Amino acid sequence: MKWEKFKKELLSLNYTVMLLPHSERKPIHFKIPVWVFGLVFFLLLIFTGTCLFFAGSRYRLAEVQKEKEELEQEWIRLTEEKQAADEENELLRIAQEAQEEELKKLEQEARDMIQELNELIQRENEIRQELGLTQDSFGQGAFETDGEDPESGDEAMDGSPRASREHMPYSYKMDAVQKMASSGRFESLSTDSITILMEDIEGFQSIQEELGLLQDRLAEKTAAYGEYMGAITAKKEAEAEERVRKEAVRASIVDTALSYVGGPYVYGGSNPNTGTDCSGFTKYVYEQVTGIGLNRTAASQSTQGHPVSAETARPGDLVFYGSGSISHVAIYIGDGQIVHAANSRKGIIQSDLYYQTPVKIVSILDD
pLDDT given at position 31:
66
CA-closest candidate to residue 351, choices 261, 235, 270, 289: 261
Segments making up each domain of the chain, as ranges: 114-238, 260-367
**Contacts with 135 (C-beta within 8 Å, 6 or more apart), sequence order:** none
In DSSP terms, 337 is beta-bridged to 334, 352
Question: Minimum mean pLDDT among 109-123, 132-146, 341-355: which range?
Answer: 132-146
The rounded mean pLDDT for the chain is 77
Residue 260 clears pLDDT 90, i.e. is over it: yes
What are residue 200's phi and psi, to 5 degrees? -65, -40
Question: Minimum mean pLDDT among 228-232, 245-249, 283-287, 321-325: which range?
Answer: 228-232
**Contacts with 150 (C-beta within 8 Å, 6 or more apart), sequence order:** 156, 157, 162, 165, 192, 193, 196
Residue 296 clears pLDDT 50, i.e. is over it: yes
Question: Minimum mean pLDDT among 4-18, 197-211, 218-232, 253-267: which range?
Answer: 4-18
- Domain 260-367, CATH among 3.40.640.10, 1.10.3720.10, 1.10.10.350, 3.90.1720.10: 3.90.1720.10
Interval 25-78: pLDDT, tens: 665 555 666 677 778 888 989 988 888 888 888 888 888 888 898 899 989 988
C-alpha neighbours within 13 Å on the C-beta side of residue 47: 6
**Contacts with 14 (C-beta within 8 Å, 6 or more apart), sequence order:** 31, 32, 33, 34
Vertex 211 angle, CA 208 and 217, to 5°:
145
Of the two residues 97 and 142, the one the predictor is more confident about is 97
pLDDT given at position 175:
55
Q: Which of 38-42, 218-222, 241-245, 324-328 has the highest mean pLDDT?
A: 324-328
pLDDT given at position 196:
58
Note the helical H segments in 24-148.
Answer: 34-131
**Contacts with 191 (C-beta within 8 Å, 6 or more apart), sequence order:** none
In DSSP terms, 320 is beta-bridged to 329, 360
pLDDT given at position 16:
59
3-state secondary structure of 294: coil
